[in-house]
Structures are given as C-alpha cells and as structure tokens.
Amino acid sequence: MSDVSAPLPELQWLSDDWRKPVKQACDLIAPVWPLDQWIAVNPFWGLRHFPAPRVDQVLNERAGFSMLMPTEFYREAWEGGRIREDDLRASIAERGDERNTAWYLDWLGRKGAITAPLRGSILDTFAVANAHEEAGVLTDTVCDQVSRVCGAFFDQRQSRWSVSGNQANGGLFGFWLESVRQDLVLDFTTGLKGGRAFFKTVPDDRDQAVQEALSRIGARGDELEALCHSLLLRVNGWASWCRGEDWRAGLEGRSSDRCEDILAIMLVWESAGVAFASTAQKAEWQRQRARASRRGDYDDRSRLWVWQRAFEIGYQRNLWQALESAPLKQALPDSGRGIPAAQAVFCIDVRSEVMRRHLEAVCPDVQTLGFAGFFGMPIDHQQHGPLAPARRLPGLLPASFRLIDTKGSLREDLAVNRSLDQREIARESVRKAKYTSLSTFTLVETTGLAWAWKLVKDTLKKGHKTRPDQSVEGRLVHSHGGDPLSDAERVALAANMLRGMSLTSGFAPLLVLVGHGSHTDNNPNQAGLDCGACGGQSGGVNARLAASLVNDPQVRAGLADEGIRIPDFTWAVAAEHCTATDKVTIADRHLIPDSHMQHLADLEAGFETAGIRARKERATPLKLNGLDDDNLKQAMETRTRDWSEVRPEWGLANNAAIIFAKRSRTRGSNLSGRVFLHDYDPTLDEDGGLLEALLAAPMIVANWINLQYFASVTVPQVYGSGNKLLHSVVGGNVGVVEGNNARLRIGLPLQS
C-alpha cells in the first residue's frame, strides 16, 4: 500500500484548467425526470455532436459496452428475411466499402461474442468480498456506497429518517463526506485499512477536494474528461438523476451543480484507490489505461454498424411500400359542404396513428391531424391543494405560464384548499405514525381492518381506472409574477397552435383536440405511458385549455386580425384518448352548444367503432386475440386495475419514424402504430420557419423517445430499469431500484 500521508504533487499545473473537462464530462450525461413526471430521454444526448459509430466507440472505451445488438440478432434478422440482400448491399455502398455481401455474410458467421468489458478504474484492481461472500472488485462496493448516500440525500418523505436542513445545505458532496467519515465499518467493507482516516484528510471544500484528487490521479486534458465520463457511467443512474436536477434548475433560472457533486465523490474515491494501491496494482492500472487508448482497431465494430444500417434500410423499405400502397394526394374529407364534418387533432404519439387510421376508415368525412400533445400550451398546472404544480410541456422547454384551478371565487378556492391541506396533514400524520418505534405495530392492529374493505373493493372492482376530476375552470397566468395573460398573449398562443398544425382555414363544425393518457393502478412507471409532450402527464388539461382559447370570442377576433378566421359555426371540443383501452372521452360536455350535439354524437359513434378496431389490432401483441369486443374491452380495462399486471399496454414500443407532411400523404396507409405523424403544409410555410421549429421541438421529442427505447433494448444493464417484478420505488418519486440494490435504474423496464 502507498503512503497515504505522502505530500501531493504540485497543484500549480491544475489552476482552473480542470473545471472545463469536469463540466464537459457532466454535460455528456443525459438527464432523467422523477417518476411522476417521467419522460423518455435520449441517453446519448450529451454525445449528439458525434456520429453514432463514434459514440459507440467512446462508450466502449470508457464503459466497456456497445450501443448495438449482439451479432446473433443480425444473423437471425438475415435468416428470417428481415434484412435482405438489397438492404445489405445499400448499406455497404453507403460506407464506400469494396467488399461484397458474401464477405459480410461470412464475417457475420465467424464473428464471436463482444469482448469483455474494459476496466479503467484503479478501484478495479482491488478484490473484495461482498455481503454474500462473492468475489468482486472495489468499484462495485464504491458504487453501492455512493448510491446509498444518494438515495438518502435525495429522498422525498419516503424514508423514516430524512436529511436535515443543515446536512442538505452542505450539498451532496458534503453530505457524502460526512457519511463516509462516520462509517464505522468502511475499512471492513472496502478492505482499505485506514480508509476512514484517509477521508478525514479530504478537504471539506469540494473544489479543493477535486484538485487534490486530480493531483494524485495525474490525469489532465482529454484524458481527464474521459476519466470523469467513465466514472460517471459507473453510477450512471444517480449521475443522470443529478444531471436532471441541474437541467430542471436551468429551466427555472436557478443554478445547480449536483452532477459535479457526484463526480467529485467518484474522483475522491478514485484518488483513494491511487493512495492505497500497491506498485503492482498501479502498474496493472497503467496497462489498462494504455489498452483503452490503443483500442483503435474498430473494424469489427464498424462492420457491425453496416449490419445495423442494413436493418434500418429494411424498415425504410417497408415504410415506403406502405406509403406507396395508399392513394397519393387524397382529397380533403368532405361532408358535402366543402369542409370536413369534423376535425380531430391527435398527439403525434405512435399510438394515435392506429386510432386515426381506423377513425378515418369508419368516418371518411372526418379529417384527422397530428400535433404535439401539449397543444402548444407551455404550462404547469396548479391544482387545488398542497401539491406542487405539475409540468405539462416537453422537458426541453420552460413553463412560461401557469394554469391555476379555480372554483370561480376566492372564498371557494380557499375553502377547497383548506380542506385538501387538512387531508394531507392527516395523511402525513398517519404516515409518520406508521414508522415510529412505539406505534408501528399498534397502528396496524388498530386500523388494519378499516383498510380491508378498500383493499377488497379495489382488487375486485371492474372497469378502467378514472383520473381525479379535472373539469374545474382555470386561470392562466405568467409563471413568474402571476400576472394574467393579456389578450395579445392569448391570441398568440392560439395562433401558434393553429399555424403549428397547419390549420388556418377550412374549419369544420367540430374541432376536437384529443389529448391522451394511460390509466393504470399500482404502476410506478405510469408517467412513461402518458403523454411525453405533456411532461409525463395526461393531455386532457392542455386540450381543455387550448379548446377554451379557440372558443373565446376575443381570441377569435384577434385571430381574424392575423388572417385566421374561425367561422361562427365552429366549436372546439377537448377530449382524451385512453391508450390502454382505446376509449375516447369528451370533456366539458356541458359547454357544447345544442346545435353541435348531433355532430358530436356522430363523431363519438366513430370513436367507438374505431376503438373496437384499434383494440382488435392491439390484441395480438397483448396475447388477447380470439376475444369478441366486449370481452376484449373488459380484458383491457381489467389490466389497468390489476395490481400484478406488469404490461398494461406496450406504450411506444416499436416506434421507428416520424413524418412531417399533410395527412393526405399518409392517409390510407397502414403504418402499424410505428410512426409519429405531425401535420405540415409547406405551402403555408414560405420561409421555412415552421419546419425549423418542428425540427427543433417535435423532432427532438421523437428522437428522445426513439433512442430511449433503443438503448433500453440494446444496453438494458445501463439504460434500462430492469425487471418490474423486482422494482422498489426510491426517494418517494426519484426512481426505482432492483431488489435490495441501491443503484438507481433508469430507462424502460424489461416488460416495456
């Protein structure tokens, strides 16, 4: 073991040069959101400036894993006809390779398993035994220790003992340092004799601690960035959570450096490894670092990318065939008056493609459109009660406005808030009583039977889960300051929405804005099935707000001044599509004029028939085929309430493409629920500004969703959340861990 008390190398070379690579390493980690606001995120977002093969190379060098599926996957795709020879030939041609398809087939047959994970941390040279007496490396013990500290620090009311205000004020790094100094079994669990004493010499100031650690490690420049990124990937779940904390703070105009905190922790641990390592261990560590830098022969990996590209070309071929099989430039649906009988605007979500296709088939005079499911309303939603406002917009955007629920008068609002506050206080009192040492058992004995009927009722109840009533009115105000929106701002919101969906003329009697959500019980991953454009919430609230703006006479007058004239006979209606049952529910029915009730009845009949067809299409992947519609609908509704159901629906699995075009270009094509569809009319976008906005927003949302699903399949051990059956919620709403493991699991579960 080295002398841990030996003087450190000269720190002068560090100056402030270390800050840039540390910041860059943190920026390479993609953020994640809390469970109740969960949205899909491209886990490679921080590396988006690199081509995909280069990202694969970087991750392989720094963490020892590949973005791609194993070779067996591509071999089976070839043998099953999913990849054809033309696809492979086109992929080879794109690469400019002189080898032919026969050579690549021979190579695929000879290619073995991917090489073992690369070890680049000096902690990997320390052998330890875990709690089960199984051999491991110190890195695993360190990652577990850091994860448990993060779980305690970020806990939100779930654990029995929470972090005090004074502890939290010291930041994550300060809390960890205090914890590790007080860990009486640290030397035993890590095998580092004198480890506790070492951490007592670490400076309390984070920046000073980082400088000392880097001086001992001896990395700088690009090598330092690579080391920092590699260390963050070791605790990728919690690093992503910290990055998400920083991201959300930035959207709100606050400063946060949680990711730098957890990186500082990992750097101090790495420096501890250097301090305690023997000469032989340091030599082995240097060999590993040199091996990583020499891993320049990526021929095998680049050849596998040829197969991945061929796989993608195969899907594109099928997509073009589906588009070409439908009549091009179909005429606008016509009710006989030169306009559609109704216009239904759905989210671009791939699940909407199925419902839209079937609705158009049963109601040829109905026009459907695709638009981001938050309907251009950048809001957070403050409901009555003590809960914080819920973001209902894409994760990329800050909430400019706040929708505040109101009963119509201040007195009524105060009464409702007081009642809900008292109810929450009672819940909190019961929760605390459950965990005190004296009342834990007596509380169960006393109140257990009172909960029995509710458990039985909730278990046996049929039908799908309904959300809390959200039909109250709302006040729209600025998020900062709370001032109401001016008429001009309300007009701008409505105008941007209508222009964004390329709907500025030809309005139908009914304009139905269809948000979507998925209603399930006992599902920590619920938000992942809701609308991603609404921040992991259902889209009904946004649809109601957008419809109210369109129906506002003052807003319509302002729209007319901007060249968007909505006829008096047009009425906007909000609805919500439950993607678990394919049932569409109309909101605010009491506001719809009698003159439009027949139009609404006809459209609802169309929704019902389209739902029957959509359920039948989804039955096979859910293994429910063979049931008639009544039983199929009941089975799908039962899945939403079954506490043991791990797959209430498939969500956005198999999403593969996004199309910006007029619906006439895709109407009649069976896109199999795999394509995001956003309406776009280039004739209304002379300067290309709208297309630019679409590529900067909905396109990014689709990219995040697509690569979240991709990474959760190809690298499930890093970017997937594991098996739902083993999940435990950590921190209240922070995320999930698998079993007794403290490492935060991110991404999609195996069952999704």
pLDDT at 422: 74
List the one residue out of 636, 634, 611 whose CA is nearest residue 622. 636
pLDDT at 246: 93
687-720 pLDDT, tens per residue? 999 999 999 889 999 999 999 999 989 988 888 8
Shared domain for 24 and 133, answered yes or no, is yes
Q: What is the mean predicted confidence (pLDDT) over 471-492? A: 81
- The enclosing H or E element of 366 equals strand 366-371
Shared domain for 352 and 449, answered yes or no, is no
pLDDT at 140: 84
Of 194-208, 314-328, 423-437, minimum mean pLDDT range: 423-437
Shared domain for 238 and 315, answered yes or no, is no
Q: Please, what is the end-to-end C-alpha distance for the chain in angstroms?
A: 47
Distances (CA, A) of 469 to 118, 383, 542, 588, 620: 53, 11, 14, 11, 33
Task: Give φ, ψ of 590 to 5 degrees.
Answer: -65, -15
Shared domain for 264 and 132, answered yes or no, is yes
Please check the confidence at residue 675 and state whether its pLDDT lies above 90.
yes
- Residue 696 located in a structural domain: no
Shared domain for 575 and 435, answered yes or no, is no
The residue among 682, 700, 726 that closes a domain is 682
Cα torsion at 251, 252, 257, 263 (round to 10°)?
Answer: -40
**The tokens of 169 are what?**
């004020």
- Residue 636 located in a structural domain: yes
Q: pTM for this one?
A: 0.86
Q: Chain-wide mean pLDDT for the chain?
A: 82
pLDDT at 166: 43
Instruction: Using pLDDT thresholds of 50, 70 and 90, give the confidence band for residue 133.
Output: very low
Please check the confidence at residue 468 and state whether its pLDDT lies above 70.
no
Geometric angle at alpha carbon 131, from 125 and 137, rounded to 5°? 10
Express as a percent the part of the chain with pLDDT over 90. 34
Shared domain for 183 and 89, answered yes or no, is no
509-541 pLDDT, tens per residue? 999 999 998 877 766 777 777 788 888 888 889
Shared domain for 86 and 224, answered yes or no, is no
Beta-bridge partners for 367: 343
Task: Give φ, ψ of 271 to 5 degrees.
Answer: -65, -30
Shared domain for 360 and 228, answered yes or no, is no
What is the identity of the amino acid at 317? R
Distances (CA, A) of 415 to 403, 411, 469: 19, 6, 17
Shared domain for 176 and 31, answered yes or no, is yes
Number of domains forming the structure of the chain: 4
Whether the CB-CB separation of 385 and 414 falls below 8 Å is answered with no
- Residue 292 located in a structural domain: no
- Residue 386 located in a structural domain: no
Give the three-state DSSP class for 82.
Answer: coil
Shared domain for 582 and 596, answered yes or no, is yes
- Residue 732 located in a structural domain: no
Shared domain for 625 and 521, answered yes or no, is yes
- Residue 626 located in a structural domain: yes
Task: Give φ, ψ of 385 to 5 degrees.
Answer: 110, -175
- Residue 475 located in a structural domain: no
Render the burial of 80-102: b for 16+ CB within 10 Å, e for the rest: eebbbeebbebbbeeeeeeeebe
Q: What is the mean predicted confidence (pLDDT) over 288-305? A: 68
Contacting residues for 329 by C-beta, under 8 A, at least 6 apart: 664, 665
Shared domain for 148 and 102, answered yes or no, is no
> In which domain, by residue range, is 80 found?
61-116+299-319
pLDDT at 333: 66
The residue among 682, 716, 741 that closes a domain is 682
pLDDT at 469: 47
Contacting residues for 565 by C-beta, under 8 A, at least 6 apart: 505, 559
Please check the confidence at residue 63 and state whether its pLDDT lies above 90.
no
